[in-house]
Amino acid sequence: MPFALLKYALSREHPDDPHFRWKPDLKKTYDVIIIGAGGHGLAAAYHLAKDHGITNIAVLEKGWLAGGNTARNTTIVRANYLTPEGVAFYKESVELFRTLSNELDINVMYSERGHFTLAHTDAAMRTARWRAEVNKHMGVNSEVIDAAEVKRICPTMNVTDDARYPVLGALYHPPGAIARHDAVAWGYAKEAMKRGVEVHTQTEVKKILIENGRAIGVETNRGVIHGAKIMQAVAGSSSHVARMAGLKLPIKTIPLQACVSEPVKPILDQIVVSGSLHVYISQSARGEMVMGGATDAYGLYSSRSTLDFKESLMGHMLELFPFMGELRILRQWAGMADMTPDFSPVMGLTPVENYYIDAGWGTWGFKATPVCGKRMAECVATGRQPDLLKPFALSRFDTFDLVGEKGAASVGH
Amino acid sequence: MKILNCPLNGPRNISEFVWGGEMKPMPDPATATDAQWTDFLFLEDNTAGEITEWWLHAPTNYWFIARRNTLTDEIIETMTYDAYLARQKANASGEAEPAAKPTTGGTETGATSA
Ligand SMILES: Cc1cc2nc3c(=O)[nH]c(=O)nc-3n(C[C@H](O)[C@H](O)[C@H](O)COP(=O)(O)OP(=O)(O)OC[C@H]3O[C@@H](n4cnc5c(N)ncnc54)[C@H](O)[C@@H]3O)c2cc1C
């Protein structure tokens, strides 16, 4: 009924709400100031408003809405980590992602594809078995499969012996998914703003005001504002902002590059990761092959792209998926990843009173956006470290109690 | 392809090297506290700008020092660890550039204006 649809669209009785309710002016004080309007900051604002009734919130963003790593990631969502602490945490995020489109009333195009972590060596098979057992114990669906089974599920993959590093088997994680990253951030922003949260773009935090060991406000390019509580969620700029609060972090900022091919008809259903070959690939809903690898070899505050990255990526990719030889690269980009030594995030309380941190998200933080928003909101609202976040506290580095996830996070983001 | 000038092997492709991170002094193992170890092992300045850092030329297993700008990715200079120490010592004793000191004739002022 195209005519009825047109009538509905043009009718004044059912106007669509504007997505974003911008407020032009900054107030003098807020209950909570969040630095960084990426997915994490916005999700925390949403949960503070929805779960804890705190709506007098300003989210301050130096650039534009969710233009940082939230806009640059390759959107892999999974829970097949290595440590029980990590698996419990990411499992909650996968559960929240499944109902996120309803929760935020926006289509985040959550698409469960199945996720392979390929093994080309005995050591990689051993890690796969280890992860599968921890996953199953924690109620996460993962299993080790052999090369023939990989081929059955993913017929386009080359698992023959005439490759430089033949596929021996894989850790298979059926719930592994991809989603529309921008929609996730926009959904949180829209629903938070509907509840009264203010998001201010082009507003850079330049200084954090501390009095007697307590954070009391921030200085921005638009003036000073005060906040009862302050939270930072600034990814690649984590060390820089934390330093303003007098904190030194266990973080190195290292670029992570990615690229997409021109779009083609659906040919690859799964998300395929190879830790040994340092490559991963999935096909987006638009048909583009989305590809990347591990971080660059050294620290840098830049989002430039390099030829080395594409050379090493394509060398292995062509062996895994020979049909890729027909495709051209369409776009390439990079983001600044805030890397921790144990490949786990840093969340929660800090030595500065009323100052909360959400950092160390490196190459793996998109999938954690919902759970992190929910639990950081709980932490800020109650002033206590939620149980789920206890293993990830900044203080773990003082007690040498690291959460080693390198085996599950260095290439498969 | 980016080139790094190794003090032992000369200019080589940067993919032959392994980054060792920003230079930081190691605490004395005999007296260091837990907090000092945490600082040395895990905490980073993560400087945006000019840094002094470790690099390893992997094929020859040779460690050396570089100065690099982490905003522009420009390698300013590379040097052996001994050269780095010598410069530190000179800086500590108040002489900015020992090599630039005039060896014959001229006063301090004359040297600067030359
Ligand atoms: C190429 C690439 C691929 C990735 N792939 C995946 C993946 O497949 N799966 C996955 O789970 N994760 C992935 N990640 C990681 C993921 O993108 C990040 O961990 C996540 O997006 C971090 O979200 P965030 O909201 O914390 O940070 P961001 O989205 O970066 O937001 C931080 C914001 O803070 C702002 N800011 C910084 N300083 C200031 C200041 N002084 N004042 C005000 N605002 C400031 C920035 O402008 C920015 O908008 C990938 C990352 C990259 C770069």
The reported pLDDT for the residue numbered B106 is 35
Check residue A409 and give its pLDDT: 86
Mean pLDDT to the nearest integer, A40-47? 98
**pLDDT per residue as tens digits for the range A273-285:** 998 899 999 999 9
Residue in this structure with the two tokens 């440590």, named with its chain if needed? A83
Chain B residue closest to A303 (CA)? B71
CATH number of the domain at B23, please.
3.30.2270.10
Between B112 and A316, the more confident residue is A316
Q: How far is the CA of A233 from the centre of ligand 1 (A)?
A: 8
For residue A7, the model assigns a pLDDT of: 82
| pLDDT score for B51 | 97
**Nearest neighbour of B42 by CB, restricted to A250, A298, A308:** A250
pLDDT at B111: 33
pLDDT-derived band at B95, boundaries 50, 70, 90: low
The more confidently predicted of residues A413 and B26 is B26
What whole-number percentage of chain A has pLDDT above 70? Answer: 99
What are the residues whose beta carbons fall under 8 Å from the beta carbon of A33, sequence distance 6 or more?
A: A57, A58, A60, A217, A218, A225, A227, A229, A230, A231
Which two three-digit tokens encode residue A94?
């996968």
Q: What is the C-alpha to C-alpha distance for residues B22 and B68, in angstroms, rounded to an integer? A: 10
* Dist. CA A360–CA A348, nearest whole Å: 12
Cα of A373 vs centre of ligand 1, distance in Å, is 14
CA–CA separation, A99 and A102 (whole Å): 6
Q: Are B34 and A265 within 8 A, CB to CB?
A: no
The continuous run of DSSP H or E covering A232 comes out as strand A223-232
pLDDT, one tens digit per residue, over A252-270 is 999 999 999 999 999 999 9
Point out which residues pair with A60 in neighbouring strands: A35, A200
Identify the architecture of domain A23-111+177-250+341-413 in CATH.
3-Layer(bba) Sandwich (3.50)
Q: Which two tokens stand for residue A232?
A: 């930072």
In the structure, what pLDDT confidence band is assigned to residue B97 with cuts at 50, 70 and 90? low
The reported pLDDT for the residue numbered B112 is 31
Min CA distance, A162 vs chain B (Å)? Answer: 27
Taking the CA of residue A68 as reference, the ligand 1 atom at the shortest distance is: 30
Q: Encode pLDDT of A302-347 as tens digits.
A: 999 999 999 999 999 999 999 999 999 999 999 999 999 999 999 9
pLDDT for residue B114 is more than 50: no
CB atoms B1 and A308 under 8 Å: yes
The backbone torsions φ and ψ at residue A292, rounded to the nearest 5 degrees and listed phi first, read: -165, -170
Q: Lowest-pLDDT range, A10-24, A114-128, A246-260?
A: A10-24
Rounded CA separation A76/A258 (Å): 13
- pLDDT-based confidence at residue A1 (cuts at 50, 70, 90): low
Residues on chain B touching A249 (C-beta within 8 angstroms): 43-44, 46
Q: Indicate whether B49 pLDDT > 60.
A: yes
pTM of the model: 0.93
Residues of A with Cβ-Cβ distance to B73 under 8 angstroms: 300, 302, 304
Listed range (A10-24, A398-412, B57-71) with the worst mean pLDDT: A10-24
Domain count, chain B: 1
- What topology does CATH give the domain A112-176+252-339? D-Amino Acid Oxidase; Chain A, domain 2 (3.30.9)
Helices (H), ranges, A13-121: 39-52, 84-98, 100-104
Confidence of residue B102 (pLDDT cuts 50, 70, 90): very low
Domain containing residue B106 = 2-113
Average pLDDT, stretch A90-100? 98
**Does residue A246 register a pLDDT over 60?**
yes
Residue labelled with tokens 């909360």: A356
pLDDT tens per residue, range A133-185: 999 999 999 999 999 999 999 999 999 998 999 999 999 999 999 999 999 99
Which uninterrupted H or E stretch holds A258?
A: strand A252-261
| Average pLDDT score over chain B | 86
The pLDDT value recorded for residue B96 is 57
**Which residues pair with residue A359 across a beta bridge?**
A346
Q: What is the pLDDT, as a whole number, of residue A411?
A: 80
8 Å CB contact between A335 and A304: no
Sequence-ordered alpha helix ranges (H) in A29-146: 39-52, 84-98, 100-104, 122-137
Distance CA A131, CA A119 (A): 12
| Alpha-carbon A25 to chain mean position | 30
pLDDT tens digits, A352-382: 999 999 999 999 999 999 999 999 999 999 9
Map out the domains of chain A as residue ranges. Answer: 23-111+177-250+341-413, 112-176+252-339
Percent of chain A with pLDDT over 90: 92
DSSP state of A249: B
Contacts of A154 (CB under 8 A, 6+ apart): A116, A268, A269, A270, A272
Closest residue in B to A298 (Cα) is: B19
> What sign does the CA torsion over B74, B78, B81, B87 have?
negative
Confidence of residue B56 (pLDDT cuts 50, 70, 90): very high
DSSP-assigned letter for residue A353: B
Contact list in A for residue B39 (CB cut-off 8 A) is 248
Q: At what angle do helices A181-194 and A39-52 cross, to 10 degrees?
A: 40
